[in-house]
Structure 1
Amino acid sequence: MIKNIIKKYKNKLFLIAYSGGLDSTVLLHQLFLIQKNNIPDMKIRAIHINHNLSPFSNHWLKHCQNKCKKYKIPLIIENIQINTTKNNLEERLRIKRYQIFYKNLLNDEILLTGHHLNDQCETLFLSLKRASGPTGLASMSIESMFGKKKIIRPLLEKNRNELKNWALYHKLKWIEDESNIDIFYDRNFIRHKIIPILEKRWPYFLKNCAHTANICRQETTVLNQFLKEDIQQYLTLDQSLKIKSFKHINPIKCHLIIRYWISLYIIKIPSYKIISSIYQQMIHGRIDSNPKIIINNNEIRRYKNIIYLIKTSISVKKIILFWHNTKKYLILPNKLGYLKQNYQGLSVPAPKKNELINIRFQYEGKILIIGRNKRRKLKKIWQEKNIPPWIRNQIPLLFYNNRFISALGVFVIQTNKQEEKIWKISWQNDILLNKNSNKYLFI
């Protein structure tokens, strides 16, 4: 059933996503037979993820262990603990699973999943529900990139009945997850309530869904080739998006550019509703506003006619850190790096003997910085230094007791006490301008 697909890959290193259900059971069995009869040097591993949601999950785990032991296939076992009270449980579990898959993949190893024709049709319906557009309707392909790795779905052109017949013929045993019949979940509702009716009326419906997905995929591929060339004129050095001219460009084209830009960073593209919201708020929003749109663990932000995609981070505004021993590094929260005293850093007034050195991330009021002749609000200084609003509360502010001394790497407060000694502080961090972040490096 899948021998010809497997044979074409030079690197015969495969990791099978093995849940123990019908699909992955057939996939595992077929790989075992191919290895045994055709490609003895092929390397196969399996990975089972225990979601810990069913009272039978440990029984399923044991089943998968026994099956892999019988086939002499190494099995990786991973566990997921997830909050089931939050929304989008299916999606959060899917994201977690693929993160685990990616983490366990070896160099040149290919991930194999048991997705089949019915899954393809379900995915297409879910894309219609989300108003995902042609990219979403393209659904899944037999082969696609998975980050820097490759994912293959060798059963994608076979329907579930074909897999079941294969399993019964070879007397295979598989797991039936009771949650798969719960139509509370969207995919199960489509699987049990929608597709059977359509198949009964039109027996060829599943294949036509796959054909539609393939057409959408081909057209999206061609469109993306044009967008890849066109978008270059709008990208900054750190791959953020310049939108100054977008008000004078066809809105449909703007939507496509924004969508393609987001696709450079996020595997799952947001719906057209979200893209439209980005367009309205970022392009046509008030110039003095500070719009923010959250997409999973990312944020779309605008600053001075440029929009940025950044990772959502925990606020550190209320944190105060005391640096009692300056001979040791001071570790900053939220992966903001660390401070150290050395001879290469920023020159600032040294603290007095009894002053407590502390680091904060928030300050309000007017200040007088070196190089200026009058006091200004801190917000105005941030603007003058071209520091976006979401970066400002990540910059460590140096205080002695309650005396504001410096925003490290940005400015130093002017003092009349010329007799004060000087010391130097370095802020070592990974806040870089790069394709995944528009953050800044200060030292």
Structure 2
Amino acid sequence: MININKITKKYKKFLIAYSGGIDSTVLLYKLIEIRKKYNIKIRAIHINHQLNKKSKKWSKHCKKICKINNIPFILKKIKINKPNLNTESKARKKRYKVFKKKLVKNEILLTGHNLNDQCETFFLAIKRGSGTTGLSGIAYKKKFYKNYLLRPLLKYSRKKIETWAKKRKLKWIEDKSNYNTSYDRNFIRHKIFPKITKRWNFFLKNCFRSIKLINSENKIINKFINPIIKKNLFLDKTLNIKKIKKMDIKIIYIIIRKWINIQGGKMPSLKFLKNILNTVIYKKKKKNPKIQLKKYEIWNYQDRLYWIKKKPKMKNYIIFWKYPFKKLKLPKNFGTLEIKNKKYTKKNFYIKKPKKSQIITIKFQTKKKIRIKNKKKKIKKIYNELKIPPWKRKTTPLLFYNKKFISAIGLFVTKKKYNKKEKNISIIWKKNIS
């Protein structure tokens, strides 16, 4: 017997992620079964990933079932660029973005994940070398933006769900790509689990039990770790590691995992955590070390960890500003520069208006020494004195009149004598990226 009545005690509005597969079909019909009794409202959303020749046919099937059962139906198409072995992950991200947009106030998102899915996820976490958070598996209930996401079938095996569906002669979609064992999850599902469950028929239940135990232990760990993170986390989500780096290594690993999760990053492997510890936190090689995690970089700057989106290399860029009183668009989505005659900036940041004969260029790097307060200094030393983080140094536009360095825009202005008779102006840098 499959019972999902518990969810109706607190919630009355549901949006079901309806793929048309057996799990979401059983979930839909269970909701239909209890709809009148508990006075609940149901809507269904179907995502067409456009990856299969039969995807249109599947969408029509789902629409037809909803129409027959008087359920409001939402159909949304998404496109996955360059399908590969990472397609499943890309599709999931896009899918959940659509769910977020379509949810209404007080509506709960429901998905048809089952016990087998839970155990497969557990195995995948072991393969990645995950910690307790990864091994906690799929959550039965989790906060989903301003709403909640529930998985009512999580404790039921695929076999039990199939039995329920066949008994009621339900029709569902069979996606042949679910049998493609080049995908890790399908390999576990079709090659590994049948052998394990044949030998130990109690395996799935015990797997579920282990996940619950890990979840319980994880909650206890969180009670200890969360106050440490809260105490050392700044409003910009940077992490003060002055005291943390003196703690036991295992505690540091947990803190860093959770900090990466706060940034929205994926859980790193133990090997990667060791690299963060040695390279970034303990600074074994560089003064301001960094490590890359996909599109992001983790920096240690003045004993604070920063999560920075990777910046493009701007070293060799030279941009000619032919029409200085027209807005200049910078490359690589770096925003725009605009000269204003009005005094928009601090007095120390005023520059002199360029002469018509002067060639104005923007660079992002210079080896010339700069005169500041009657002293010549390298730009690196000035950045250090101003406490400018390394990642900002490489992306700050540098203004030149002919070959004279005038300003690091928004940071400092040189004291060179130039254009004495010209008026003071301001340059505004509107950034597109952080």
Q: Same fold (TM over 0.5)?
A: yes
- Contact 1:313–1:334, Cα closer than 8 Å, also in 2: no
Distance in 2, Cα, partners of 1:128 & 1:246: 27
Kindly report which structure 2 residues correspond to 1:30-429, keeping only aligned pairs within 5 A, or say none.
Answer: 30-35=30-35, 37-40=36-39, 42-72=40-70, 73-85=72-84, 88-266=86-264, 268-286=266-284, 288-317=286-315, 319=317, 323=321, 329-332=327-330, 336-340=334-338, 341=340, 342-345=342-345, 346-360=349-363, 362-370=364-372, 372-417=373-418, 418-429=420-431
C-alpha spacing 1:267/1:395, structure 2 compared with 1 (3 Å): closer
1:401: Cα distance to partner?
4.7
Which secondary structure does the structure 2 equivalent of 1:366 belong to?
coil
1:96: Cα distance to partner?
3.0
1:193: Cα distance to partner?
1.4
Distance in 1, Cα, partners of 2:398 & 2:65: 58
Q: What runs of 5+ residues in structure 1 fail to find an aligned partner?
A: 432-438
1:436 maps to which residue?
A: none
1:378: Cα distance to partner?
1.9
Distance in 1, Cα, partners of 2:147 & 2:314: 35
Which secondary structure does the structure 1 equivalent of 2:237 belong to?
coil
Q: Normalising by the residue count of structure 1, what TM-score does the alignment of the two structures yield?
A: 0.87
1:117: Cα distance to partner?
0.4
Amino acid at match of 1:16: I
- Contact 1:224–1:260, Cα closer than 8 Å, also in 2: no
Distance in 2, Cα, partners of 1:128 & 1:5: 31
Amino acid at match of 1:83: K
1:155: Cα distance to partner?
0.6
Amino acid at match of 2:6: I
- Contact 2:297–2:308, Cα closer than 8 Å, also in 1: yes
1:98-156 deviation per Cα after TM superposition (whole angstroms, max 9, x unaligned): 23333333333322110000000101111111110211111012101234432100110
C-alpha spacing 1:354/1:44, structure 2 compared with 1 (3 Å): farther
Which secondary structure does the structure 2 equivalent of 1:30 belong to?
helix
Amino acid at match of 2:297: E
Distance in 2, Cα, partners of 1:242 & 1:126: 32
C-alpha spacing 1:290/1:88, structure 2 compared with 1 (3 Å): farther
Amino acid at match of 1:230: I
Distance in 1, Cα, partners of 2:188 & 2:144: 26
1:49-97 deviation per Cα after TM superposition (whole angstroms, max 9, x unaligned): 2222222222222222222332332213121222224x53333333333
1:338: Cα distance to partner?
3.8
Amino acid at match of 2:412: F
Distance in 2, Cα, partners of 1:52 & 1:420: 61
Distance in 2, Cα, partners of 1:268 & 1:303: 22
Q: Normalising by the residue count of structure 2, what TM-score does the alignment of the two structures yield?
A: 0.89
- Contact 2:279–2:289, Cα closer than 8 Å, also in 1: yes
The alignment of Structure 1 onto Structure 2 pairs a total of residues equal to 426
Which secondary structure does the structure 2 equivalent of 1:299 belong to?
strand
Amino acid at match of 1:352: K
1:399: Cα distance to partner?
3.2
- Contact 1:117–1:210, Cα closer than 8 Å, also in 2: yes
Which secondary structure does the structure 2 equivalent of 1:61 belong to?
helix
Amino acid at match of 2:355: K
- Contact 1:15–1:111, Cα closer than 8 Å, also in 2: yes
